[in-house]
Structure 1
């Protein structure tokens, strides 16, 4: 797919970056920005915050199933039509949530919104289609950096939207952004069907990509890097608000500092990207995560739980995530360049499942979350470094053979 790819003009590259960044921003609204509105939603639908939390779980299931279908389909019929259809369905779902007066109907429309949001999986496929080489790697670093920044500011954004527009605020903002993505995709993306596509069933397509050890290994490394970040995001309210008794506003400001780590990591990743080999970049990123786990463990033992003993190691960990995850993703996506949609869906599903499982396991240790988080970083990064060594050794054996 990369061979013979026509050069993309500077104007088109800028338009592509704007489209992709808007999709990354849009991805935080259905989950992260909605969190501060849980009490208001529970009051509006005359239910409990636990029921509203269930809608988040339902959304996650819906988007996971949807992207598993959208990825392979995009390899057959192209990206543009599926992206436009997904955005339209997500807008219908969000509008239905706004107009719902009963909790069951709210759940139905949240599921509709999730099915539409499955088209977000096409961001990785579009990167693979529209960019090449180092430019592609730089864009993936930018996307991971932007995602982390958006997630870190999302509680504050959700609080401001809640104050200004009550619980409908996040849905209104989502509809506006989704409409912008729809229009941008309409005018920017070409209605181009993939060439030389091998006609396979969806199950067969996934069987092919998951059987490749290199593909699976690199996506597992990306999953490990993501899980370290995601686990902290999931348990951060328990650490900062429940255990350290920070106010929601102070918690939001704390996560703003966490967002700086993504900027630092992105700068480091860009600096070393063209100077050291990809597998060495992975080792550097995972090494920083290991060091962060060791530091958090030592600080928790010596100084106990505080904002600094959690936040300082997390800044180092997040820098490692920003270095390791984009390059691991790029290496995985290069294995099947003509199946970018299937590859992205297969990998993102693995990332999501892995992050969810690890965060759930850490959450079980409600008494000492800091120590559990630190030990998780140590074990995950060590596993990732070992996995990277196995992949490198396998490539050497294959090249010699």
Structure 2
């Protein structure tokens, strides 16, 4: 259901959405330069720390199963306030953890609270219409890429001056700001009806029974998995295997963010000129190309910063072109259940990213080859799903 949005409040609402986007990537990416410090502090390996990121993504996904449908019934505002409070508790728990097991537990608590970030998609669906939704989603994905590239640089600076705990303090400060903005800017228009477990499961059954929804959500999950897999293993490649310092590593990721910006600009340009399925295919072909380039550069060459980064820049551009449109195609199938549809889409995205990145992180001796093959297989699957959806239009 679309609510009337006053022109004077739009800039503030967009700012709120951008903070949601920032916090959506911040707890994952700001700690990347701190992998060696976290491993030393908790007396474990950087591979274990990398797996904690995958666990965060899976815990985040599980919380989404309830947050979206609940927000359709008791309102976005209440759920966002509650989830941010839980995320703050989790972040503070990570700071005070005495061992790695406690740290993992509180990271999961933080992940459950971060499930509230999915409501940004529902808020876009609620408060904006038509092409404005797609443009805003492209802007959100582009901003996410900028935040992804900046977060490790911020993390390296925080690590150098105040240690790994500082990133959790900064997250807490932003979450408190978001609490204040949510309280002041949002108003709930949904009736305060408490959904039963049966009602929620029935709603998900209806959503996942739509094969077009599953196709577009899976395409979005595929593109995210390519991005997320690289993010999770990038500290292992650049700091463990290539010996870069946390600051040098964060500088490398600035180029990664630049690819997000380029992809976002391209997505906006293509959105005005191409059909949605054509734009989706364009991004997927770029991901396939990046997989081929990565395999070619890995074959017969020693691993280096550029043999990894060049294909990842191509992949990132493809991801940014494809994800916003596939998200919109999936969300628009269920405009009156935006919360549940947003949760369903994001569950698919993060489960795919978490499981695939966890698998890749176990193959530390052939990471470039594994990534290249992964990109080729996933893009081929995405292209097949896109063709299937294009030739079988959804029937309302």
CA contact (8 A) 1:227 1:356 kept: yes
CA shift in 2, pair 1:90/1:365, >3 Å: closer
Please state how far the C-alpha of 1:225 moved relative to its aligned partner.
Answer: 0.9
1:39-66 C-alpha deviation (Å, 9 max, x unpaired) = 545665x643567667545544432222
Distance in 1 between residues matched to 2:160 and 2:359, nearest whole Å = 34
Please state how far the C-alpha of 1:112 moved relative to its aligned partner.
Answer: 3.2
Equivalent residue in structure 2 for 1:48, among 44, 48, 52: 44
CA shift in 2, pair 1:324/1:61, >3 Å: closer
Distance in 1 between residues matched to 2:194 and 2:390, nearest whole Å = 29
Distance in 1 between residues matched to 2:355 and 2:244, nearest whole Å = 27
After superposition, where does 1:367-382 map in structure 2 within 5 Å?
Answer: 367-382=365-380
Cross-structure match for 1:268: 266
CA shift in 2, pair 1:322/1:192, >3 Å: same
Distance in 1 between residues matched to 2:234 and 2:145, nearest whole Å = 14
Equivalent residue in structure 1 for 2:176, among 155, 174, 179: 179
Larger mean CA deviation between 289-298 and 78-87 belongs to 289-298
Please state how far the C-alpha of 1:202 moved relative to its aligned partner.
Answer: 1.5
CA shift in 2, pair 1:55/1:371, >3 Å: closer
Please state how far the C-alpha of 1:37 moved relative to its aligned partner.
Answer: 3.5
CA contact (8 A) 2:134 2:328 kept: yes
After superposition, where does 1:295-314 map in structure 2 within 5 Å?
Answer: 295-301=293-299, 303-314=301-312
Matching of residue 247 in structure 1 with residue 245 in structure 2: yes
| TM-score, structure 2 as length reference | 0.91
Equivalent residue in structure 1 for 2:393, among 376, 392, 395: 395
Matching of residue 166 in structure 1 with residue 163 in structure 2: yes
CA shift in 2, pair 1:294/1:103, >3 Å: closer
Aligned Cα root-mean-square deviation (Å): 2.6
Distance in 2 between residues matched to 1:258 and 1:267, nearest whole Å = 15
Matching of residue 116 in structure 1 with residue 113 in structure 2: yes
Distance in 1 between residues matched to 2:45 and 2:292, nearest whole Å = 36
Please state how far the C-alpha of 1:237 moved relative to its aligned partner.
Answer: 2.2
Structure 1 unpaired stretches of 5+:
none
Please state how far the C-alpha of 1:294 moved relative to its aligned partner.
Answer: 2.0
Report which structure shows greater RCO (CA 8 Å, sep ≥6): 2
Length, aligned pairs only: 394
Distance in 1 between residues matched to 2:16 and 2:242, nearest whole Å = 39
Cross-structure match for 1:362: 360
CA shift in 2, pair 1:370/1:59, >3 Å: closer
Cross-structure match for 1:135: 132
After superposition, where does 1:268-347 map in structure 2 within 5 Å?
Answer: 268-301=266-299, 303-347=301-345
Distance in 1 between residues matched to 2:191 and 2:269, nearest whole Å = 34
Please state how far the C-alpha of 1:127 moved relative to its aligned partner.
Answer: 1.1
Cross-structure match for 2:30: 33
Distance in 2 between residues matched to 1:300 and 1:116, nearest whole Å = 39
